[in-house]
Amino acid sequence: MKKVSIAVILFVSGLLLIFSPFIKNYLIQLKVNNSLNEFTDQSADELKRNRNKENSKEKELIAPPSELDLLKNVRFKGKPVGVIFIPAIDLQLPIYGTMTQENLMFGAAEMNDHQQMGVGNYILAGHHMKQNGLLFQSVPTLENGDMIRITDKTTIYEYKVTSNIIVHETSIEVMESNDKNEITLVTCDEPYYTENRTIVRGELVKETPFKGQEAFFACTSCS
C-alpha cells in the first residue's frame, strides 16, 4: 500500500511538472483578459481614479513570475489606467499606474511616478515570457516603423517605433527624456533573469479623441 501511495505521489508530481507552465500561462492570460474587460466597463474618470501612486514600487524589472508567485496572487484584481495595443505583434495589454510585482505579472506598468500619456518620455515595463505572445514576449521583435497605440479612454496616442536596442540594466540614460513626446518599452532581452534589457522607443505621431474600443483596436493605418 505504501509503495502504491508513493507511486501515485510521484505520478501526480510528474504531471504537475509537465503541465505547470501551461497552467501558469493560462492564469496570466486569464487575469490579463479580466483587466481588459475591466477597462471596457470603466469610464475615463474611473481609470483616472485607478492611478494610485501610494503603492510600493519595484526599483527594477524583476525576473518573470514563477508558479508560486501566481498562486500568491490568484485573487489579483488589477486597476488599469489604460491599454496598450501593438498591431504588428498582436499585443493588447492593460496598463497599470504602478510598477509592482503583482501588476507586472498581468500587464504593462508605468515605471515612473506621475507619468502622463503623450507627454515627455512615457515609459512602460513588461515581462519577457517564454510563451509566444504572452505579455512583452514579442516586444523585442518590433521594427522601425511599427505602430504603438495607447489610450486612457480620453485620447488615443499613436507612436511610431524609431529604435530597438539592447543595453545593460545599469544604462539608465535610455530612460531620460529627449525633450520629445515619445514612448519607451522596457523588457528583459531573454525570458529569464538577465542583466540586459531590450529598449524600444517610438515617437508620438498622432493624437486623436477616443471614440470607442472598436475604433481603437481597428487601427487600419497601423503596420
Mind telling me the catalytic residues? Answer: 127, 188
Separation of alpha carbons 128 and 135, rounded Å: 7
Nearest alpha-carbon partner for 81 in 102, 56, 52, 111: 52
CB of 199 within 8 A of CB of 185?
yes
The strand pair at 91-96 and 108-110 is best described as parallel
Q: What stretches of 18-171 adopt beta strand conformation (E)?
A: 80-86, 91-96, 108-110, 121-125, 147-151, 155-168
Q: Is 118 exposed, middle or buried (0-12, 13-18, 19+ CB in 10 A)?
A: middle
> For residue 9, what are the contacts with CB-CB under 8 A and spacing of at least 6?
none
Which three cell numbers, joined as nine digits, stand for 183?
A: 514612448
Indicate the SS3 state at residue 41: helix
Separation of alpha carbons 183 and 159, rounded Å: 7
